Structure 1
């Protein structure tokens, strides 16, 4: 290795955490740790406690299932071992394979402090990807769970600096001050100091200057009434601020219009809604607002806009085609009859080199 190559390798290592693939991996890891914190896995002690509450008959059935599962796993391991022995006898060399001590990843779920593990990746993102908006979104989520009020405020200010009109920036802003408003009166000196900082910082935020949180939420809606994700953010915050207005929040989402938008592409006008945004709205209705009827209506509506979506189970999606494929009878072989004339008509749209000659069939194609 030459000196130049060595120096280039060192520079690459210095920039390693700035690359987009590391950002995506770190974001995914942090989200996993947040999910583990919100929904911790059951330990063996908890499972034993739950089993002790069951009646004797159910205990017996559960133990039988566990024994069968253990026996099945043991048998599979023995079969693999026999296969390895056979391979040794034929080739004379025993294949060396690393043994996975945790094939199901159960030990990975047993994290003592998920937020501490998430913070390790968060610090790397804050150091090397400070202009990445998702860095501060995750910083807000982590610090709110850790009850680090000032660090959460810092994340909100970074979000407003990067993009004050982003739906997630608005969501974090309203969430933060809604949480602060529900905090008890400060007692200790540290709490009084934090409270003083919050009172000094709130007037400097233009989105809240002279407005209540409800007014700020309504004002944000007026500015972005035509955007699906902005309306969804406003609806979510309306439900957070006033849970009794759940129906109004749902109406706000369902009242969004998927209008046609002009593009410079060859396909002409396309609809504004994107598939990933519609999926996010469906999860919002299903989990946070917790209205299964509204989520079902939204799913049916989006299945029409995205007929190839497996998530929404559109008419042309693989999820639907796989479920109905066994009901479709096989067509008989044609001998030049009417079916062959149809196939000849279909094949006439393609030239000998495979290029599409007739584009009329593609005029209604919508790509999101």
Structure 2
């Protein structure tokens, strides 16, 4: 690199060696050469040498020294592109991409045609999705390096991402014309052609896309993608005969691909369910070993035909012993008639297998008997079947029969645990998973499943110990799972801590999940150059589009929802100051009791200090272990993140602002979820932001206008407007009145609530929200509101354990005021209706020992509770 403050030949040679050492990661040697230059009195403040020394120090993890040297170098030579470039690299290593872009732009002022700086700038621009800036930078690179393939592809892609398809295609066409002269066509060229075709398709010119594929078919290596594209293009252009030809070839190539069958049906224009069933039956005969043509017709067949087909399908699976048979058929359970047919067949199988060893008593003389395991798998299926139908008693009876038949099959214990989970008893559920895990301690899946059930039972420490069997030695399981970005575990931990009231710990887990998503977004940085070089352009565009919507993933949604709920709770009920609380407690204590308390506090403090010392020791060991695993010097380009301290997170000054940080990505990427807008309303309701509440309600109404919780939001908003509009600015009043007018149609809150209860008289979930609002609007209506939700009689069509548990939580939370007597009566009713649910049992009963698999499922725990009393 030419210098704005040139060195004499000897020092210049040393400077070049510093650059070489940096490129080859020989950082200690680089520091030696830098020292030789800076020890010369004439060049102790040479800017570029100081900057390179700082960059080298940064790679050795000495960040503070690095920044000091680079800034010193920059002050001494502000006109040096090297100093600005190095400062930009330092900012990039700390993920401060906006600052790094500013540095690169400053560097380009003094060296506008520097390819390396332009390349680095383009990477940051695509990372930050500054597409206009990316286009300009790629154009400069193309002008400087017109013979490089990456220059053309990068410039074309910048137009593609900006949806300027015409210019993107012109650039690709020009580049391909240059390539055609005597070059050998390989996989990379094939990928480039398929990318070009993708751009043509996205431009909307399907005829041109089809012509392009057919013209270049000899140069395209990926024949599977080629035929799939041809089939889909012909289908979109309604050229059904040609389309069906390609999809038939794809089915012949892979008879297990369900998507190809569905596209072939569209191409053949088969619409009648009967004809679709015949289509699949034809292919079932043609490919007898393929599974889709046997399973897919069950979605369309009805009546006797369905009975015949599902009978044959289930018999084969039960004889072979296919554990996921129920999962395979569960999509059919939306049709009640099909459920009845399946149940009748299964009950017939049980009777016939017990009597004659066949699936039907009428087939007693037809061939050999079914294997002994067939009855086991029928029991197994029936247990899952009745569990799905919320008949826990029958489900448990059948799973007990299966365990009695074969007490060593792990799937049976897992299913029994799942039945208890659905019945509302997480304690028994996890204990059955423990039984399953004990049968095969080397099975990672069962281990993970067991840990998940422990977390559902709020046993965090036990879950961590269970996972420790498969995590790295020398590191706590919780930390290792965090390193591995095991988000299901962290999300379940957060929810468990939330239920336990350990809000700081819950928030810590939510923030860890949020950091994982930030890391995934940052990890795409490595692919910007790789994909351009390897020509995996279609995958690269897919990656960029995935990263743009990454925080719409269910893992992030669950963690964000948990964090928002916790922050809302902390706003409503802030944690008390422990020292002040202790002073209040000790004021009225006798001297002897005070002495005992002080001794207890001293012991607790000493124990906490010992634990923290052990943790520090373990951290030092881990750091040493980590260093020993790495060979040579390591580039420390990951910034040090702030430590997540639970107590600090739980005592944050602005919980609503913290909640909004989690809410923004959901509002952008999970707009189709009603929960997003309901949570937004709850946050803005507490912030008293009228316009933002209106926005949230309008969005929620678009998603699901009949959602019960939306009704309670509307009622509270109605009352909020009535109480606060006099304090608002006139323009705000006008906008709120205009936009909220369709919500209420001139009716007051009481009238709206009364109409809602009348319209949803058969829904317990909706009645719960209506009753809550009835009490909220008028506390004199307490008995009427309680009567609506505590009498779970037959008039409600959606009574289940989940809704009844939610009502119990609402009663205990005080949503209906003080109502201990009514709560006890309600608990007794629920206990009769849901005998397996732990929510309606005293704590000692819920924690009772596991039963031995007999039929007295509910009674054992109650006896233990009575005995302890």
Q: Considering the TM-score relative to the shorter chain, is it more than 0.5?
A: yes
Alignment-derived partner of residue 194 in structure 1? 732
Residue in structure 2 matching 1:214, options 737, 744, 750 = 750
More deviation, 36-45/71-80: 71-80
Alignment-derived partner of residue 13 in structure 1? 547
Unaligned runs of 5+ in 1: 88-92, 262-271, 330-368
Q: Secondary structure at the match of 1:293?
A: helix
CA distance 1:61–1:17, shift in 2 (3 Å):
same
Aligned-residue offset at 1:240: 0.8
Q: Secondary structure at the match of 1:134?
A: helix
Alignment-derived partner of residue 837 in structure 2? 309
Aligned-residue offset at 1:198: 2.9
Q: Is the 8 A contact 2:694 2:740 kept in 1?
A: no
Residue in structure 1 matching 2:770, options 234, 237, 249 = 234
Q: d(CA) in 1 for partners of 2:666 and 2:644?
A: 30
1:275 and 2:801 equivalent?
Answer: yes
More deviation, 41-50/66-75: 41-50
Unaligned runs of 5+ in 2: 1-529, 628-641, 851-860
Q: Secondary structure at the match of 2:671?
A: coil
Q: d(CA) in 1 for partners of 2:615 and 2:864?
A: 35
Alignment-derived partner of residue 297 in structure 1? 825
1:23 and 2:557 equivalent?
Answer: yes
Q: d(CA) in 1 for partners of 2:864 and 2:718?
A: 55
CA distance 1:176–1:43, shift in 2 (3 Å):
same
Aligned-residue offset at 1:250: 0.5
Aligned-residue offset at 1:83: 10
Matches for 1:176-187 after TM superposition, within 5 Å: 176-183=717-724, 185-186=726-727
Alignment-derived partner of residue 146 in structure 1? 687
Matches for 1:1-368 after TM superposition, within 5 Å: 1-3=530-532, 4=536, 5-43=539-577, 46-47=580-581, 50=584, 53-54=587-588, 57=591, 60-75=595-610, 105-183=646-724, 185-186=726-727, 190-205=728-743, 208-258=744-794, 272-287=798-813, 288-290=815-817, 291-313=819-841, 319=847
CA distance 1:96–1:76, shift in 2 (3 Å):
farther
CA distance 1:325–1:303, shift in 2 (3 Å):
closer
Q: Give a deviation string over 1:45-74, Cα, whole Å, max 9, x none.
A: 644664685557365444332112112334
Aligned length: 304
Q: d(CA) in 2 for partners of 1:258 and 1:201?
A: 40
Q: Secondary structure at the match of 1:307?
A: coil
Q: Secondary structure at the match of 1:300?
A: helix
Q: Is the 8 A contact 1:313 1:320 kept in 2?
A: no
Q: Give a deviation string over 1:217-251, Cα, whole Å, max 9, x none.
A: 11111111010011111111110111111111111
- For the pair shown, which has the larger CA radius of gyration, 1 or 2? 2
Aligned-residue offset at 1:142: 0.2
CA distance 1:82–1:193, shift in 2 (3 Å):
closer
**Counting helix residues as a fraction of each chain, which structure ranks higher?**
2
CA distance 1:253–1:94, shift in 2 (3 Å):
same
| TM-score, normalised with respect to structure 1 | 0.71
Aligned-residue offset at 1:27: 0.8
Aligned-residue offset at 1:34: 0.8
